[in-house]
Amino acid sequence: MCIIFPMQTYLFPALKYSAVAAALLFMNACLPDQNDDPDSSDPDPKTSEPGAENAATADFGKTKAGESTEIYTLKNKNGLIAKVATYGATLVELHIPDKEGNFVDVLNGFDDVSGYEDDDNQYFGSTTGRVCNRIAKGEFSLDGKEYTLATNNDPNHLHGGGDKALSKQVWKAVPASDAQAVTFSLTSPDGEEGYPGNLSMKVTYTLGDDNELRIDYEATTDKATPVNLTNHAYFNLGGAGSGTVLDHELTLNADNYTPTDDTLIPTGKIEPVEGTPLDFRKAHTIGDRVPDKGASKTDDCKTAPKGYDHNFVLNGKAGEQRLAARLKDPKSGRVMEIYTDQPGIQFYSGNFLKGQTGKGGKTYPFRGAVCLETQHFPDGVNHDNFPNTILKPGETYKTSTVHKFSTE
């Protein structure tokens, strides 16, 4: 029987994601719960088909430390392409059509691993953790013991810390038996980046024929430890490097958000978005109300003076998949909907992008992309009133987020 991490339920659709089921079954032979799940014991005809091809793999370069990295290409029957790399279990490319059927890569990123190791990389497309977002002053206590983490975002801990943050490690890849899914795995040893427990993780990317890119996360530990995993993709639905996202229309399924101090640490309050520039319950362009367009007088945006950088409390029940966000580029007609079982989403409007050069020589300007990071609330480990982020031995952390692409 699978022990589910509180607040989260792993929803495993029956046949649609059977390629992932097969990959996870292969990877997780030791998981005690696999036979409890009727879906996971269902053999997948596609994966057992002789001659089925794995995702194509290519060299992604050597890290500074001399480790080899690879990139895998996922394709669906409609021509969508996603590329994922072993470095940081990173989503590197995502090619989706506009309303005329023209494909473009909508993600910020770099051509090879050297770009991802450079300071210009602001977690582009990476798997972030062990605890994504911020932990105040890099400190927390658990079971009577004090832990100190790197304060790599002075004065706070950000996205898992220093050189051994998940986004900076080379993960092991196992492609599914078709070209539509890859599972990355990594074990972070006890004490790495200051976190307790040997934490074993799997992240599976699946590109479905329904134009959904699904990311499934799983983790187990041998000591109680905080866990909060997300993907840090930067989207520009007009094409990465095509200008700002100020004209993108955003809807967020959130009545409330978590206000912060000046260092982006939540005060612990949960406040309504109503009457603030953070009210995206109906679609607004991102540029409508960013601070330098007259909305800076509210307390809500003072904490993120250069634009949006806030955690929204998603409506509906955490642990159940529901719509979190909808992003539309009116020019191209590209639409992305995000579904998740997580309690929160960080909406970050690319305020620290600085015109760095990325894939194919493209530049990524200030507010040139948007991140919509599904997650537990920032600094959750220090706030008893926020959803629990502690994973205990014997439990399995499971969560999934789906990005669904369409046009209108």
- Give me the residues that bind ligand GAL (CB under 6 A), please: 122-123, 158, 264, 309, 346, 348, 352, 371, 373
Distance CA 33, CA 18 (A): 17
Nearest CB to ligand GAL, comparing residues 9 and 357: 357
Neighbouring CB atoms inside 10 A of 303's CB total 17
Q: With beta carbons less than 8 A apart as the criterion, state whether 351 and 309 touch.
A: yes
Give dist(CA 248, CA 327) in Å, integer.
7
CB nearer to ligand GAL: give 75 or 164: 164
The answer to whether the beta carbons of residues 195 and 129 sit under 8 Å apart is: no
3-state secondary structure of 99: coil
Q: The tokens 């602001």 sit on which residue?
A: 122
Q: Which is nearer to ligand GAL, 213 or 264 (CB)?
A: 264
Q: Return the bridge partners of 390, or none.
A: 226
Q: To the nearest 10°, the Cα dihedral for 282, 378, 124, 70?
A: -120
Closer by beta carbon to ligand GAL, 181 or else 264: 264
**Least distance in angstroms from the C-beta of 303 to ligand GAL:** 10
Preceding amide of 214 cis, omega within 30: no
Nearer to ligand GAL, 236 or 346 (CB): 346
Token representation of residue 156: 């706070």
DSSP 387: P
Closest approach, Cβ 400 to ligand GAL, in A, equals: 19
- Give CA–CA dist 345/377, Å, rounded: 8
Q: What would the two tokens of residue 220 be?
A: 């187990």
Shortest reach from residue 233's CB to ligand GAL, in Å: 11
Torsion of CA 73, 404, 186, 122, to 10 degrees: 90
Please give the C-alpha separations between residue 337 and each of 149, 177, 282, 325, in angstroms, as whole numbers.
34, 27, 14, 6
Helices and strands per DSSP (H, E), number in the chain: 4, 29
- Known catalytic residue at 403: no
Least distance (Å) from ligand GAL to the CB of residue 301?
A: 14
CA distance readout (Å), 286 to 75, 82, 264, 407: 31, 26, 20, 19
Minimal CB distance residue for ligand GAL: 122
Nearer to ligand GAL, 228 or 346 (CB): 346
In the complex, what is the shortest distance from the CB of residue 99 to ligand GAL, in angstroms, rounded to a whole number?
30
Nearest approach in angstroms of CB 229 to ligand GAL is: 13
Name 231's bridge partners: 127
Shorter beta-carbon distance to ligand GAL: residue 97 or 380: 380
Q: Which of 248, 373, 383, 395 is catalytic?
A: 373
Question: How many other CB atoms are there within 10 angstroms of residue 293's CB atom?
Answer: 11
Distance CA 181, CA 174 (A): 9
Exactly one of 157, 159, 232, 310 is catalytic; name it: 232
Q: Which is nearer to ligand GAL, 128 or 177 (CB)?
A: 128
249 part of the active site: no
Least distance from C-beta 270 to ligand GAL, angstroms?
18
Distance CA 122, CA 321 (A): 28
Least distance (Å) from ligand GAL to the CB of residue 159? Answer: 7
Residues belonging to the active site: 232, 373
